[in-house]
């Protein structure tokens, strides 16, 4: 079983940056695809970004392309989300997720392992 714990959330002004981290434990996730989702009261859980096990392939939601970058460090069993040029609509509870495959990375049903989330609030 994989345990995931996010960190790095907080309050930031619009236009600012934050870097989220998600540390895995319980087993190595070096051969897992990893992803970030966010949840807001109005939209439910929304796909943000995903990365395959080798970091050779990434996928982003259209709303964050060019502003967010997902990366991973398999030696540290950690995935990151660098968020730049933040907007008020980026506010939400950000969770990381892990799955053995990269077939449908935007589908929440793909992921069996989830972290509890970290809150990001962007003030305008």
User: Which residues, in sequence order, are CB contacts of 32 under 8 Å at separation 6+?
Assistant: 2, 53, 98, 99, 100
pLDDT the model gives residue 41: 79
- Residue range 92-116: mean pLDDT, rounded: 95
Look at residue 124 and give its three-state secondary structure. coil
Q: What is the dihedral of CA 117, 67, 15, 80, to 10 degrees?
A: 40
| pLDDT per residue as tens digits for the range 27-49 | 888 999 999 999 987 888 999 99
Give residue 122's pLDDT: 97
Report the pLDDT value the prediction gives residue 83, as an integer from 0 to 100.
98
Residue 20 has pLDDT above 90, yes or no: yes
Per the CB < 8 A criterion, the answer to whether 78 and 71 are in contact is no
The total of other beta-carbon atoms located within 10 Å of residue 112's CB is: 11
Residue 47's pLDDT is 98
Structure tokens at 83: 């968020």
pLDDT at 28: 86
Tell me how far apart the alpha carbons of residues 120 and 107 are, in angstroms, rounded to a whole number: 22
Q: Which residues pair with 116 in a beta bridge?
A: none
Is pLDDT of 5 > 90?
yes
* pLDDT of the residue at 1: 84
pLDDT grade for 111, boundaries at 50, 70 and 90 = very high
> Which tens digits make up the pLDDT trace of 68-95?
999 999 999 999 999 999 999 999 999 9
């Amino acid at each position: 079983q994989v345990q995931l714990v996010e960190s790095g959330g907080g309050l930031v002004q619009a236009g600012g940056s934050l870097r989220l981290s998600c540390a895995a434990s319980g087993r190595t996730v070096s051969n897992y695809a990893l992803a970030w989702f966010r949840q807001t009261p109005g939209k439910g859980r929304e796909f943000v970004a995903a990365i395959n096990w080798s970091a050779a392939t990434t996928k982003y939601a259209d709303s964050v392309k060019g502003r967010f970058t997902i990366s991973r460090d398999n030696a540290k069993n950690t995935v990151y989300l660098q968020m730049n040029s933040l907007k008020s609509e980026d506010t939400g509870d950000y969770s990381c997720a892990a799955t053995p495959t990269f077939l449908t990375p935007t589908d929440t049903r793909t992921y069996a392992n989830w972290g509890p989330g970290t809150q990001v609030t962007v003030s305008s």
